[in-house]
Structure 1
Amino acid sequence: MGISGLLPLLKDIQETRPLSDFAGQTLAVDAYVWLHRGTYSCAYELATGKRTNKYVDYAMHRVRLLRHYNIEPYIVFDGGPLPAKKGTESERKARRDENIARANALAAQGKHSQAREYYVKCIDVTPQMAYQFIKALRAECVPYVVAPYEADAQLAYLERTGVVDGIITEDSDLLVFGCKTVLFKLDVAASTVTRVSRADFASITSGSSSGISLVGWSDVQFRAMAILSGCDYLPSIPGIGLKTAWSLLRKHKTVENVVRALNLEGKKKVPHKYLEAFRMAEKVFLYQRVYDPTQQRLVYLTEVPPHEILNNETEEYVGT
Structure 2
Amino acid sequence: MGIKGLLPFLKNASVPINLADFSGYVAAVDVYCWIHRSSYACASDLALGIPTDQTKELNRKKAAEYLMKGDKAAAQECFERSVFVTSEMAYEVLRAARNMGVDCVIAPYEADAQLAYLNRTGYADFVITEDSDLLLFGCRQVVFKLDLSGSGVLVAAASGLCECCGIPASQFTESKFRFMGIMAGCDYFSGIPGIGLNTAAKILRQTRITNFRELLSKLGFYTKLSNNALAKDDTEVVNTKNTRDKRQNVKTANYNKSSQISESLLNAAVRAERTFRLQVIFDIASRCQKRFSEPTPEDIDEELHNLDELKGSNEDEVDLFSYAGRVLKDNQKAFNRALGNISYSDDTIIDNYYPCTSKNNSMQVNGAIIGHSTIQTKVQSSGLRPNPDRLKISIWDKSYPIQKCT
> Is this a same-fold pair by TM over 0.5?
yes
**One-letter identity of the residue aligned with 1:213:** G
Structure 1, gaps ≥5 residues long: 55-108, 206-211
Cα offsets for 1:54-100 (capped at 9, x unmatched): 8xxxxxxxxxxxxxxxxxxxxxxxxxxxxxxxxxxxxxxxxxxxxxx
SS of 2:275 mapped into structure 1: helix
Q: 2:184 aligns with which of 195, 209, 229?
A: 229
Aligned to 2:220: 262
User: How far 1:203 sits from its partner (Å)?
Assistant: 6.3
Please give the residue correspondences for 1:1-320 in structure 2 after superposition, counting only pairs within 5 Å. Answer: 1-53=1-53, 111-189=71-149, 191-202=150-161, 204=163, 212-216=165-169, 217-254=172-209, 255=212, 256-262=214-220, 267-270=226-229, 271-305=262-296, 308-309=299-300, 311=304, 312=318, 314-320=320-326
In 2, Cα distance between equivalents of 1:123 and 1:155: 25
What are the Cα deviations for residues 207-240 of structure 1, in whole angstroms up to 9, with x where unaligned? xxxxx51433211111001000111111112222
Offset at 1:260? Answer: 3.5
How much does 1:293 deviate? 1.5
Greater fraction of residues in strand: 1
Between 1:147-156 and 1:243-252, the stretch displaced more is: 243-252
Q: Is the Cα contact below 8 Å between 2:29 and 2:127 reproduced in 1?
A: yes
Q: How far does residue 130 in structure 1 lie from its aligned partner after superposition?
A: 0.2
Deviation at 1:274, TM superposition (A): 1.6
User: C-alpha displacement at 1:142, in angstroms?
Assistant: 1.0
Secondary structure of the corresponding residue to residue 160 of structure 2: helix
1:185 and 1:193 in contact (8 A); partners too: yes
Instruction: For 2:129 and 2:12, locate their aligned partners in 1 and report how far apart those are by CA, in whole Å.
Output: 19
1:260 and 1:118, CA in 2 relative to 1: closer, same or farther beyond 3 A? farther
Give distance in 1, aligned partners of 2:225 and 2:18. Answer: 50
Matched to 1:28, the amino acid is A
Read off the aligned partner of 1:293 and give its amino acid letter.
I
Kept in 1: contact 2:191–2:269 (CA 8 A): no
Give the Å deviation of 1:259.
4.1
The one-letter code matched in structure 2 to 1:196 is V
Separation in 2 of the partners of 1:238 and 1:304?
A: 28
For 1:160 and 1:46, the matched residues in 2 are separated by 36
Tell me which residue corresponds to 1:85. none
Task: Write the distance in 2 (CA, Å) between the matches of 1:265 and 1:240.
Answer: 9
Instruction: Decide whether the 8 Å contact of 1:156 with 1:177 is kept in 2.
Output: yes
The CA RMSD measured in Å over matched residues stands at 2.4
Is the 8 Å Cα contact of residues 201 and 215 (structure 1) preserved in structure 2? no
Instruction: Please report how far the alpha carbon of residue 305 of structure 1 lies from its aligned counterpart in structure 2 after TM superposition.
Output: 4.0
Shift of the 301–273 alpha-carbon distance from structure 1 to 2, 3 Å rule, reads: same
* 1:305 to 1:262, Cα distance in 2 relative to 1, 3 A: closer
Q: TM-score when scaled to structure 2?
A: 0.59
Moved more, 179-188 or 24-33: 179-188
Q: SS at 2:37's partner residue?
A: helix
Structure 1's 244 and 115: CA in aligned 2 closer, same or farther, altered over 3 A? Answer: farther
**Which letter does structure 2 place at the counterpart of 1:316?**
S
Decide whether aligned partners of structure 1 residues 245 and 268 sit closer, same or farther in structure 2, where only a CA change above 3 A counts: farther
Closer/same/farther in 2, CA of residues 203 and 299 from structure 1, 3 Å limit: closer
How far 1:272 moved relative to its partner?
4.7
Contact 1:29 1:169 in 2 (8 A): yes
CA distance in 1, matches of 2:70, 2:218: 56
What residue identity is the alignment partner of 1:15? V
Alpha-carbon shift at residue 112 of structure 1 (Å): 3.7
The residue identity in structure 2 corresponding to 1:288 is Q
Higher relative contact order (CA 8 A, sep 6+): 2
- Aligned residues with identical type, % of pairs: 40
The 1:213/1:133 distance shift into structure 2, 3 A limit, reads same
8 A Cα contact 1:10 1:204, kept in partner = no
Paired residue secondary structure (1:182): strand
Question: 1:280, 1:314 within 8 Å by CA — same for their partners in 2?
Answer: no
C-alpha distance in 2 between matches for 1:36 and 1:268: 38
C-alpha separation in 2, matches of 1:129 and 1:287? 29
**1:23 Cα deviation after fit:** 1.4
**TM-score normalised to structure 1 length:** 0.74
